[in-house]
Amino acid sequence: MTLLSVRHVRKSFGAHVVLEDLTMSVEAGQCVVLIGPSGSGKSTILRCLNLLEQVDDGQIVLSGDDITDPRVNADAVRARIGMVFQAYNLFPHMSVLDNVTLAPRRVHGIPAAQAREKAMAMLERVGLADKARARPDDLSGGQQQRVAIARALVNGPELMLLDEVTSALDPELVGEVLDLLVELKSEGMTMVLNTHEMGFAREVADTVCFLHDGRVHESGAPAQVLGDPVQPRTREFLRRVHG
């Protein structure tokens, strides 16, 4: 079943066209990894999928709903999609627990006690229940990113968008976040993510899309795209990434 379908999406910022004509689809339970040079639109498409950016043209369909229709309630759509950012973007003025209970309480109207229970279960799951009372600033980068993942998951999203979630982390902390994502994937979560970790892409992806010039330049199974790319552009990019 196709959960997400992106059709001919175009997005520009002023004269700068970031997404030219991007088409891709994601099956339920699948993990799609976007790779490509910086500026190729990997982050922009994720922001468009979450309606943080308005597309110039094209269509995004989530579980049969055209979410680019201006008549849909964007807030309700965002509540169905979890997003995790490169810089964690935790709310620094709230405890870890309050970060996670914010959406259940204020978006879904769940009573405080029940929201706490849900949030604690989620923090337990990412291994940070003992940090519930801490402030985000007191945590390591890897811990902050795990809290951000818990905050996104507690909404029970249909789809998770992960925007370079390990790029800001010290190398020794990358593993704890990637392990969590592998676990999520094994539980059947549908994910779209972009990353520079090619090893991780190979491990977790069902499909790898190479973005170039605002389009999906090449896509397929990770072994094919990363191991034996057809397009010269893809080959060149991978050569550069691997040094």
Partner 1 sequence: MTTGTDTPDPDGRGGSVLRAGSRLAGPQGWAPSALERERAAYRKRRSVRSLTVSALSTAVVAAVLVVLVTSAPGWPAVRHAYFSWDKAVASFPAVLDGLWLNIRIMAVCGVIIAVLGLLIAVGRTLRGPVAFPVRVLCTGYVDLFRGLPLLLVLLLLGYGMPALRLTGVPNSPLFWGGMALVLSYSAYVAEVFRAGIESVHPSQRAAARSLGLTYGKTLRHVVLPQAVRRVVPPLMNDLVSLQKDSGLVSILGVVDAIRAAQIETAIDFNYTPYVVAGLLFICLTIPMARLTDWVARRQGFQGAGGHL
Q: Which residues bind partner 1 (CB under 8 A)?
A: 47, 50, 52, 75-76, 78-83, 85, 87, 89-93, 102-103, 106-107, 136-137, 148, 151-152, 155
CB of 125 to partner 1, least distance (A): 18
CB of 131 to partner 1, least distance (A): 16
DSSP label of 137: G
Nearer to partner 1, 48 or 226 (CB): 48
CB of 173 to partner 1, least distance (A): 17
Nearer to partner 1, 81 or 226 (CB): 81
Nearer to partner 1, 72 or 238 (CB): 72
Nearer to partner 1, 64 or 109 (CB): 109
CB of 52 to partner 1, least distance (A): 5
Residues sharing a CB contact under 8 Å with residue 86, sequence separation 6 or more, in sequence order? 43, 163, 164, 165, 167, 168
Nearer to partner 1, 135 or 233 (CB): 135
CB of 111 to partner 1, least distance (A): 17
- Find residue 27's DSSP bridge partners: 2
Nearer to partner 1, 120 or 198 (CB): 120
CA nearest 241: which of 194, 205, 206? Answer: 194
Tokens of 110: 């769940």
CB of 142 to partner 1, least distance (A): 16
Nearer to partner 1, 97 or 216 (CB): 97
Residue 126 contacts residue 150 (beta carbons within 8 Å)? yes
CB of 196 to partner 1, least distance (A): 20
- For 162, other C-beta atoms within 10 Å of its C-beta total 27
